[in-house]
Structure 1
């Protein structure tokens, strides 16, 4: 069966929305991670899917580097390049459609079940003449996509390709770095964090050791922005990221998740007492005095923690527990400040 489609004339309203996406992307500068996330979200809406994914080919795997809708919980998932529709899309450099994942021999059925999809459309993401990943939109029902969806995703993949070119004109390794790191802090981004978290938890399960997960939120960033300007606020975010990175081991990971939020992955932790001591140390180091352009900026963070497997086995559970603990600490600190 031929799963490709001839070119299609799109509705002007769709074209206008894609132009609006390009305008929004222009505000992202060279942060390829933000571009990928933005295109992913808009592609899902424009192609009328229930979820969307940007996968990057890394060695023998396709890695979920952006995910929206029903696929959002699978961010960081790895599927074998060989034996998957995404892998075939990369190796053939052609747009492909799966009308029913239950009967299509080209798909990775385990991955399809994990995401909960029955049909999908995938188009290649090209850097120069080389396909380096795919843009994919999925649906929970079979036969969801047609020539219209292919045409939309081909245009949206071109938007990502343009960002890839401007972010890294020649070096593919640099391109991967742009896609997996935050432009402001040069720390791993949200997608990289969840990729690493999945592999770290899988290793911890096999080797039977504990993993610490820390949720970090800056206190008072709005005050800094309002009082000293956004340049000072950006400098404060970079400083906090650098301080966190300096205070953990090389094997650990500090990632900027977005805005004033960070996550810290402690790859081998002893017990609750040890992780609490680490949290207090990080808070103390983050709160050290910092001057920017002659102004003393009040740096402070709230940190919550969760331990695998003591507090849970699933990424969603552990992340939620760390976030809840962090917000509880923030609430307590705010109450103390008011008293």
Structure 2
């Protein structure tokens, strides 16, 4: 037996996948950033797409706030609402399907080529009866999706809308904050970090300035959780976040990328010597004990750095170099850290 031309078992698997996603979304609670990341990953899998994106409207632009698959490397990318299928989806408030971006006059063709897509479904995301963004799946081949994929994406967009409603009953500016900040530490999340990094790299290129990226990994979080409990681990993460904020300047950006991973964007760095001095100061300020329920807990972190454009003018390479430096520092400090 088939359902819309597909085996019935495949249709049942998709339905079970949506139900499982609903359960997992409920577990994430008010962490809207994590909800959006989960939904794009599941939407990609359930529609057999090559990538999936949640774009939220920000003025006249659409911003990639969550991305998976081939779209993940474009997290934080900004597109003009006008001349894009996502912008049209917000304007019309209904799902739109692009069979082939090379022949569809509604799309931003250059952006499609940059991401590597030829076909896509774009589904509106509603918050308080206002369309605030879109959920999109994409594929590198034309005509990759059918009506069943549209139905699956509609269910997934409903999960995001419900999460938005429960995360905030306020105006859309509060929704944007929830979508771009880590609920535990209050720091910007991965999506906002990539957004700001792309913007600052473009600005630094125009003004011929330098900036730097720091990769910061908390050492010993698992032993803290195992010995003192997850509340203590959460308190240690918040303490590290606080120290990172205090160790950086007002214009710099500290973000929690997930788990025990943090990143710092340092703007207007004159040279490598100044960066090295700054990193040493950050290392000194973030490490040290703190008190939690009459217990003294050690907070330690490993830091790696990369300088733009000296080390690289490519975003991915810059981050990889900072990560490599962080892991090298972590190896140097073993077995003192885990």
TM range (shorter): over 0.9
SS of corresponding position for 1:48 = coil
Equivalent runs, 1:113-152 vs 2, <5 Å: 113-152=113-152
Query: Is 1:185 matched with 2:170?
Result: no
**Structure-1-length-normalised TM-score:** 0.95
Q: Distance in 2 between matches of 1:227 and 1:242?
A: 23
What's the RMSD between the two structures over aligned residues?
Answer: 1.2
For the residue of structure 2 that corresponds to 1:270, the secondary structure is coil
- The whole-number CA distance in structure 1 between the counterparts of 2:65 and 2:292 is 34
SS at match of 1:20: helix
Q: Flag structure 2 segments of 5+ consecutive residues without an equivalent.
A: 1-7
Instruction: Tell me by how many angstroms 1:319 deviates.
Output: 0.1
Partner of residue 86, structure 1: 86
Aligned partners of 2:278, 2:289: CA distance in 1, in Å?
A: 20
Farther off after superposition, 149-158 or 283-292: 283-292
CA distance in 1 between counterparts of 2:246 and 2:114 reads 36
Deviation at 1:279, TM superposition (A): 1.1
**DSSP 3-state at the match of 2:29:** coil
In structure 2, the residue matched to 1:36 is: 36
Query: Alpha-carbon deviation of 1:186?
Result: 0.7
Deviations 1:83-109 (A, max 9, x none): 000000011101000000001000001
In 1, Cα distance between equivalents of 2:245 and 2:270:
20
Please identify runs of 4+ aligned residues in structure 1 that moved more than 4 A.
Answer: none
Structure 2 partner of 1:109: 109
Aligned to 1:210: 210
Q: Kindly indicate whether the alpha-carbon contact (under 8 Å) linking 2:247 and 2:286 is maintained by their aligned counterparts in 1.
A: no
**Worse-superposed segment, 280-289 or 150-159:** 280-289
| More deviation, 206-215/284-293 | 284-293
Aligned to 1:200: 200
Report matched runs for 1:250-265 at 5 Å. 250-265=250-265
Separation in structure 1 between the aligned mates of residue 187 and residue 71 of structure 2, nearest angstrom: 24
Count matched residues. Answer: 329
Per-residue deviation at 1:169? 1.2
1:92-103 matched pairs, under 5 angstroms:
92-103=92-103
> Residues of 2 paired with 1:11 and 1:221: CA distance?
41
Deviation of residue 288 (structure 1)? Answer: 2.7
Distance 1:274 1:293 in 2: 39
- CA positional deviation for 1:235: 0.4
CA distance in 1, matches of 2:162, 2:215: 34
